[in-house]
Amino acid sequence: MSDYLATGALPDEYQQLAKTVADFAKTVVAPVAAEHDANHTFPYEVVAGMADMGLFGLPFPEEYGGMGGDYFALCLALEELGKVDQSVAITLEAGVSLGAMPIYRFGNEAQKEEWLPQLTSGKSLAAFGLTEPGAGSDAGGTKTTAKFDSGEWIINGNKQFITNSGTDITKLVTVTAVTGVKDGGKKEISTILVPTTTPGFTAEPAYNKVGWNASDTHPLTFADVRVPEENLLGERGRGYANFLRILDEGRIAISALSVGAAQGCVDESIKYAKEREAFGRPIGHNQAIAFKIARMEARAHVARTAYYDAAALMLSGKPFKKQASIAKLISSEAAMDNARDATQIHGGYGFMNEYAVARHYRDSKILEIGEGTTEVQLMLIAREAGL
């Protein structure tokens, strides 16, 4: 994949994957996107289709039910889905990079064998329980607790804005919780696997959101939730550090989704500019419109190059934290800027929810917030630059 940056051509297997997902997005996702968005319904039939295609198993080994691909393959799929429906794309992104990936990265063999085949098949979903009412960008402010007693973890606390946490196929939530105090008084934060059928676990009513209306998002409550000792994921006290690694990877995936959104706005605007006539000719013949679309295309291209670069570093085993933050910063802003410009190009029609650009306008804002805000990315980039 890294050869792309030098040659401009993706290997055949990546090109074929992108084409297959693009066809699926056009024929299966697009026809129902507006309805699910309007009704705030989870697209179970679309998710089932993605599961049948093996998309939830893309970056995982075949021994765990995966497709034997890599993280870049996931990113290509997210980009194609993001062009059409961000809700569907974030369902896949969260299901893989936030749901299954922590178990693959940090789980023991028993945990992998129990959970990964379910998750890589797409028949079940897992969620990533990090954010709390008082701990968003400052994840170290975690207040949820897990006390160890008689061979069990007893969990109490709340999480919020958790994707894929309340669907009919959600089977697991990985939770960050304070499990003690380290030397110096700092919180010891660990990660614990909580099956959704565990007594005391509640997915509260879904949020009424500005966008991503077909994505499942809930606050969660843990009231004396008891799980066995072996549900500890990874080393005790390493939960925060491990989740930071997951977020670094996830930022590349969110960048890919954002690029898809940015490119989708370009594609819709080009189509509209060729069809819509004003003053006797297509509006695309007007330099003001043509130049606006040209800038939109440039934003999408630069953002795509950024996430390709970050993914190449990650897959080669090189440091990629700064590049992931750069990609996330550039691509999320490109998505929001392109959504605004696309809405303007469409005029009154761009303000109608049945148009894809209207959904992108509502959906894209969260891309500048979720998995690390714009301000957090700037902080991380500055820190990596030595400031």
Catalytic-role residue among 93, 249, 371, 375: 371
Name beta bridge partners: 190: 177
CA atoms within 13 A on the CB side of 49: 17
Phi/psi at 331 (nearest 5 deg)? -70, -40
Alpha carbon 157 to chain centroid, angstroms: 24
The CA-CA-CA angle for residues 10, 83, 336, to 5°, reads 110
Is residue 35 flagged as an active site residue?
no
Output the six-digit token pair for 55.
């998309």
Output the six-digit token pair for 126.
């897992």
With contact defined as beta carbons under 8 Å apart, do 31 and 45 qualify?
A: no
- Rounded Cα distance between 325 and 332, Å, is 11
CA atoms within 13 A on the CB side of 249: 23
- R_g of the chain, CA atoms, integer Å: 21
Instruction: Fill in the amino acid letter for 338.
Output: N
Name beta bridge partners: 154: 147, 226
Instruction: Fill in the amino acid letter for 368.
Output: E
Output the six-digit token pair for 120.
């890589």
User: Exposed, middle or buried by CB within 10 Å (0-12, 13-18, 19+), for 120?
Assistant: buried
Task: Kindly list the catalytic residues.
Answer: 371
